[in-house]
Amino acid sequence: MYKTRVFWATYSEIPSGWYIRPHSHDFFHLVYVKSGQLVYLANGNLYNLSKGNLILFPPGVVHETPKNAHTLSTIYEVKFYILDEELLKLCSSPRAFLFSNAPQFEHMLQYISHHWSLNGTHIADSIDSFLSAILHSMHITEDDVAHSVYIDTADYSVLTKKIISYIENNYMEPYRLEQLAATLEYNKNYICTAFRRDTGITIVDYLTFVRIRKVLRFLYNLDFDSDTKINMISQYVGYQNSSHFNRVFKSMTGLTPSQYVSAIVSRDPGRNPTKLAKYYEEKLGIHILPLSQSLKYMRGLKDAIGDDQQTPPNQG
């Protein structure tokens, strides 16, 4: 059963000086700014959007674009209904939702806008999965924790916090130490030493940790067990080689991606949570933890399955 139904999606250019009169609708309207600057006025509140910003207008929220208030912009737009009751409760609001740092959603929105008009069950499944994941993730991270959405950074140096912030905002891109050092304006050997001193792991190790936690969250929320979709998620977080992704995932969790999905999804009519689902919710989920504790819980996923594991050990 689909959680959402998209009836319109597009990528478009918004000329400078263009505007929309005040209006509202009975559906959800999502706008992501790929380039330029865009201004919305919604229920009396002014929202200034720039590259990487996303705004969601729930049904009934009156919004407009004031005259001459923005530059030439390119945007992804999605108009849709929410069919899932829990997701509907999460997204329903008398105000707009603004997410000022959402570049991780761009590739998903690009896929949705490009494919929504095509036929095929696999296309509809992917669009619903991606949009549902975006909506869940937006609300999970709305009350963001300073410097990291994954770990407690209170005892880390300012430099290490900057490295963590950079990794979490660029995890989907190929990693280059030289680029990171240039961005932070530090010597590359110094940032490696400083990061390891604070965290006990390397910068590449942390990048791997962030990518795999992203995958765990998406696979937990999306309710599917297709290897094709698992590969799509792995590419989204930065892994272009599926064999390499499978090896990394197993080294971090003790499971293959297929084993994880199989053990997360409940097969009984009542859809009671599996042991692994309960473990994920209680130990990882959206919790902000010390890094060592989060890594320990991630590596404990295999042991959390107990007798529920039903996937042959070589799948994935």
Domain count, the chain: 2
Report the alpha-carbon distance of residue 49 to residue 53 in Å, rounded: 6
pLDDT score at 75: 95
224 and 100 in a single domain? The answer is no
Mean pLDDT (whole number) for 220-234: 74
Question: What is the tens place of the pLDDT at every residue in 262-280?
Answer: 888 765 555 577 889 889 9
42 and 113 in a single domain? The answer is yes
42 and 176 in a single domain? The answer is no
110 and 239 in a single domain? The answer is no
Q: Looking at 92, 108, 140, which one is the last position of a domain? A: 140
Q: Which residue has the higher pLDDT, 70 or 88?
A: 88
**Region of 309 on the Ramachandran plot (φ > 0 left; ψ -120 to 50 alpha; else beta):** beta
214 and 111 in a single domain? The answer is no
> What is the domain-level CATH number for residue 117?
2.60.120.280
58 and 97 in a single domain? The answer is yes
101 and 191 in a single domain? The answer is no
Q: How large a percentage of the chain has pLDDT more than 90?
A: 38
Q: Looking at 120, 140, 160, which one is the last position of a domain? A: 140
Least confident of 30-44, 104-118, 141-155, 280-294: 141-155
Report the alpha-carbon distance of residue 26 to residue 61 in Å, rounded: 9
19 and 113 in a single domain? The answer is yes
Question: What is the tens place of the pLDDT at every residue in 190-216?
Answer: 999 999 999 999 999 999 999 999 899
- Full domain range(s) for residue 235: 146-316
Question: What is the tens place of the pLDDT at every residue in 154-197?
Answer: 888 888 988 998 898 888 888 889 988 888 888 899 999 999 99
pLDDT score at 310: 47
User: Mean pLDDT for the chain?
Assistant: 85
The overall pTM is greater than 0.85:
no
